[in-house]
Structure 1
Amino acid sequence: MRIKFGFTQGLNVARLGLDETQILTAAQMADRLDYDSVWAMDHSNVPQWKNAVVNDAWLMLAAIGAVTRNVELGTCVTDAIRRHPSAIALSTITLDRITNGRGVLGIGAGEAQNVVDFGIEFSKPVTKFKEQLEVIEKLFESDPDNRVNYEGQYYKLVNACLQAASVRKPRPPVYIAAGAPKTLELCATYGDGWIPIGYTPELFKAHANIIKDHAKKLGRDLSGFQFANDVDIYFSEDGEEAWNKMKNAVKVSLYKPELLKVHNIPQSSEFDFRKYFTEYTMDKPELMEAMKKAALQIPDSVARTAIGVGSPDDVIEMLERFIKAGTNHFIIRFWGDGYFKNIEMFGKKVIPYFRDQQKK
């Protein structure tokens, strides 16, 4: 299977405060440099960076679709808490149609910072997520001659249909953000791909195997399944200096109970990860500070395996570790100075290396 490479315009771009014109320019560069995909973060805000420009992901992807011809375009990731799943399904199909079959739905259970500040209840996210995926799947299959019904605890469809068929058949791909047992099972059941974030190769392999085991029980063929991976890359002539700048942030992105378990790292008794996940908002910066403190217990040796830092050769080495762990679609977050330079360097130095390897 071809190894795919894309990048996400997410927290890294928000930190830089890049505007719409710059984001469109980056996407056009990707289209010329043999990238496979471009992704957009779907947040209402990013509490940690007040000067960030945070736009609507779906509108940005539509704009990107108008100035590109080749790259797939997806959300990394959206949620169906802020929008009814029928709106998510229709947005996905519309994006797929206006980009001639390049739309991808990246979707997760959501997080507090995007909903609580706006008066939207954030409770039972995984239970709701299962229903959202079921509703979206039903609506993807609907049309005026095939109306659908659904009766759930949170969502209901009564003779419902959409009146736009996707270009890609049988539907646009659905990549599911999952990192815990219940959501990994949902990914195996409903997903065409998986998008984790903040992983080491060991954790990636362990969770990929969980997805494969669930799929086997369901009788699903995963031969075309996209085991994607949202990874960080920091090009620098001085890899050690760059690592020292990044390591604490990398540890924060990695800190989660599942990673601690895989690497036999004791969990801090002073930090409640569930509380952070369900309550972190603009008004509660103390939860992020507690997260930063707890994450310091991750050893440097573990954290460094998760990031590509230094020269293109160093980055290639990191990507190869994840390929061995099962990754077949990389979604890059470029950090450091020179965002456009980084996109170009990866496109000219890293992607060709792997294209040549696949020819052998």
Structure 2
Amino acid sequence: MRVTLGAPGRIMPPAAKAIELAQRAEADGFDAIWWPCHLMGWIPDSAWTEDMTELAKYQDNPHVHFDPLMMMGAAGAATSSIKVGVCVTDTIRRHPAMLAQAALTADHLSQGRAILGLGSGERMNVTPYGLDFSKPVGRLEEAIEVMRLLWSTDKPVSYDGTFHQLHDAVLGLEPYEGVPPQVWLAAHGPRMLKITGRLADGWLPTNIKPEAYAEKLAAIRESAEANDRDPDAITPSMLAYVMCAPDEETLERLCAAPMSRLLFAAVDLPAETYARHGSTSPFEGGTGFHSFLPTTVSRAEVERIVEHIPAGIVREHTLCGTPEQLAEQIRAYQQAGLRDVILWNITPFADPALSGYSFKAMTELRRLLDADAVLEGSATDG
């Protein structure tokens, strides 16, 4: 079976260029195009300077993001086959009824090609805006139940949950051709994995190793079976940071770049990962995922965080190297059960001069994986 490939969508103006990029990704044979959902970007303002990244020459601040659901609809209407998705939004900022309607609208505009990626949320996009970040997993689980309830009928429905209550609520817009949008979950912990098996159509973790991937996928499949669902109907995907480099020397330089290391500040890495590379988490409690607020981080704090994230961590938690090396790394995940991967190209953060090379490398990677599928098919036929 061929691994399907997703590409990142353009997140900043002009909007016409974002549509052109989606059309180009479709022409290049990519299977999906995805937008992140951010009000606040991951890079601190204090680090958005030309001595840290040349990107600061071309963009005033690191927090420029289109709304992903609107871009999904716009790109879906301008293409014919490529899927459009968000990776991922949350159900804290978006009420499930409004999210259900927005996802249906994007699905109608794309003629059934929308994927609603959901996660429990990130503090940087929640607490600065006056929203409550408590019990995010419970909120998410209820929200999916509410959305599926609203998608199931055009009659009034009621729901009595801890976080959400509906009283004779209605969503009259029917799913496109009777099939609701797919829901993929960014799940890592045991509870989220169980929810994925019970309620989701796809699994979308970020940058985990093949051995852990296989273990977590097994937990999802077990949950699906326990809830009388077909485990094979849940698409195992992964959001993968990708660092493209033509040779080892370049790869070492890219992984050591301060901006590359800083990208991992808000990634939920276990203590043993830091220990393996002779370091410790820069955050009290072990993770920046729930504590990192980029608009409040001073330049001195940026430098302290970067020192805690060795280049080895960047290399370990990315798909990295030449197209051939990237293909080999994806094959290891395929053996662990992966059927889809979103190639989130972070090469330009390390060296904008390699932007052109990196996107060509991802197209070459797609060709190599397509060739794998052809060979597999020939072997099966034989």
Give the shorter-chain TM-score range. Answer: 0.7 to 0.9
Equivalence map 1:217-228=2 (5 Å):
217-228=226-237
Equivalent residue for 1:107, pick from 112, 118, 140: 118
Q: How far apart, in 2, do the equivalents of 1:259 and 1:175 lie?
A: 27
**Alignment pair present for 1:279 and 2:274:** no
Equivalence map 1:131-280=2 (5 Å):
131-144=142-155, 147-167=156-176, 169-246=178-255, 249=260, 252=264, 256=268, 260=272, 268=280, 271-273=283-285, 276-280=288-292
- Cα pair 1:104 1:173 within 8 Å, conserved: yes
How far did 1:295 drift?
Answer: 4.0
For residue 353 of structure 1, what is the amino acid of its counterpart? A
How far did 1:72 drift?
Answer: 0.7
Deviates more, 1:168-177 or 1:332-341: 332-341
How far did 1:352 drift?
Answer: 2.9
Could you tell me the TM-score, scaled by structure 2's length? 0.81
**Alignment pair present for 1:43 and 2:61:** no
Q: How far apart, in 2, do the equivalents of 1:332 and 1:291 lie?
A: 25
**Alignment pair present for 1:346 and 2:362:** yes
Q: How far apart, in 2, do the equivalents of 1:189 and 1:196 lie?
A: 16
SS of the residue 1:157 aligns to: strand
Q: How far apart, in 2, do the equivalents of 1:75 and 1:35 lie?
A: 16
- Cα pair 1:61 1:95 within 8 Å, conserved: yes
Classify 1:123/1:289 alpha carbon distance in 2 versus 1 (closer, same or farther; 3 Å): farther
In structure 2, the residue matched to 1:328 is: 339
Residue deviations 1:190-240 (CA, integer Å, cap 9, x gap): 111011112122221221122122223223211121101011223222233
Query: Number of matched residues?
Result: 350
Q: How far apart, in 2, do the equivalents of 1:225 and 1:63 lie?
A: 27
In structure 2, the residue matched to 1:57 is: 68
How far did 1:4 drift?
Answer: 1.0
Structure 2 alignment gaps of length 5 or more: 49-60
Classify 1:282/1:310 alpha carbon distance in 2 versus 1 (closer, same or farther; 3 Å): closer
Deviates more, 1:329-338 or 1:226-235: 329-338
Q: How far apart, in 2, do the equivalents of 1:274 and 1:161 lie?
A: 43
How far did 1:172 drift?
Answer: 1.3
- Cα pair 1:150 1:157 within 8 Å, conserved: yes
Classify 1:135/1:30 alpha carbon distance in 2 versus 1 (closer, same or farther; 3 Å): same
Classify 1:307/1:47 alpha carbon distance in 2 versus 1 (closer, same or farther; 3 Å): closer
In structure 2, the residue matched to 1:29 is: 24
Classify 1:305/1:358 alpha carbon distance in 2 versus 1 (closer, same or farther; 3 Å): farther
Classify 1:307/1:257 alpha carbon distance in 2 versus 1 (closer, same or farther; 3 Å): closer
How far did 1:288 drift?
Answer: 6.6
SS of the residue 1:142 aligns to: coil
Classify 1:140/1:271 alpha carbon distance in 2 versus 1 (closer, same or farther; 3 Å): same
- Cα pair 1:97 1:167 within 8 Å, conserved: yes
- Cα pair 1:26 1:343 within 8 Å, conserved: no
- Cα pair 1:197 1:231 within 8 Å, conserved: yes
Q: How far apart, in 2, do the equivalents of 1:207 and 1:88 lie?
A: 27
SS of the residue 2:237 aligns to: strand
Tell me the C-alpha RMSD between the 2 structures. Answer: 3.0
Classify 1:275/1:359 alpha carbon distance in 2 versus 1 (closer, same or farther; 3 Å): closer
Residue deviations 1:220-265 (CA, integer Å, cap 9, x gap): 211121101011223222233224322573692795355848x988
SS of the residue 1:76 aligns to: strand
**Alignment pair present for 1:127 and 2:138:** yes
- Cα pair 1:39 1:73 within 8 Å, conserved: yes
In structure 2, the residue matched to 1:359 is: 377
For residue 282 of structure 1, what is the amino acid of its counterpart? P
Structure 1 alignment gaps of length 5 or more: none
- Cα pair 1:231 1:331 within 8 Å, conserved: yes
Q: How far apart, in 2, do the equivalents of 1:38 and 1:282 lie?
A: 26
- Cα pair 1:148 1:157 within 8 Å, conserved: yes
- Cα pair 2:141 2:195 within 8 Å, conserved: yes
